Amino acid sequence: MHDRKFALVASDTEAARQALQHLRARYSDVPADQADIIVALGGDGFMLECLHRYLDRGVPIYGMNCGTVGFLMNGHHENDLPERLARAEEAVLHPLAMNAHTRDGATIQAIAINEVSLLRQEHQAAKLRIGIDGVVRLEELICDGVLVATPAGSTAYNLSAYGPIVPIGAPLLALTPISAFRPRRWRGALLPNSAAVEIEVMEADKRPVSASADFTEVRDVIRVSVREDTSIAFRLLFDPEHNLEERIIKEQFLP
């Protein structure tokens, strides 16, 4: 494992650029298209960018936190990088596949590692109908929006919307409303990861809605379908003492 070649890539922040400079002064890296491992220097947003950018290469990505939260990242330490890479444990994440249909007849496809979210575009609340596996489960949800989150994404936007934290190995998806007005007491649902979620936008002309999957935003949607895509595998590397499963458990006990 020690002889595996790695590439150092960094976000545009000053902290990440300095980290890149210091690490290259100590270690020899290779271009990303020749690497066995990508070492990403930045925050969670940059990690998501790298996962999308290098998906076709199929190599694992080891993040070092030069941002703020850094949930998907390891700690930033310059010492013993090859040894850390050799000891790192791999977590495999399957993304959500989004199909968004718009008012003008277009269909846009995208994938999301954290969540697919629908949000009202204007001052009026969204009015949504939610179906699971072809069965309408919620005839009318009046809200600011709704999201479908993976276990890895359950501690991100989903948690901010008071959705449940899902253990990384659980075969579940979180369906969480955003500022629900009616039904007021509906707090969302946990779904099997095989579920096909379909969200229909009601009164789309009067109450326009956008849909987002990671970096892809689609305006004026009328129908959005979401399901896990097990044919795509994102590979992340974590230090053994701070693996992704431990992070998700720890998140649930923070004050």
Catalytic residues: 44
**In this structure, what are the phi and psi dihedrals at residue 113, rounded to the nearest 5 degrees?**
-80, -40
Residue 8 CB contacts under 8 Å (≥ 6 apart), including other chains = 20, 23, 24, 27, 29, 39, 41
Tell me if 92 sits within 8 A of 235, measured CB to CB.
yes
Phi-psi map region of 235: left, alpha, beta (phi>0 left; psi -120 to 50 alpha): beta
Other Cβ atoms within 10 Å of 79 Cβ, number: 7
220: tokens are 């004026």
- Tell which residue, 150, 199, 184, has the closest CA to residue 170: 150
Phi, psi of 214 (to 5 degrees): 50, -110
Burial of 250 (0-12, 13-18, 19+ CB in 10 A): exposed
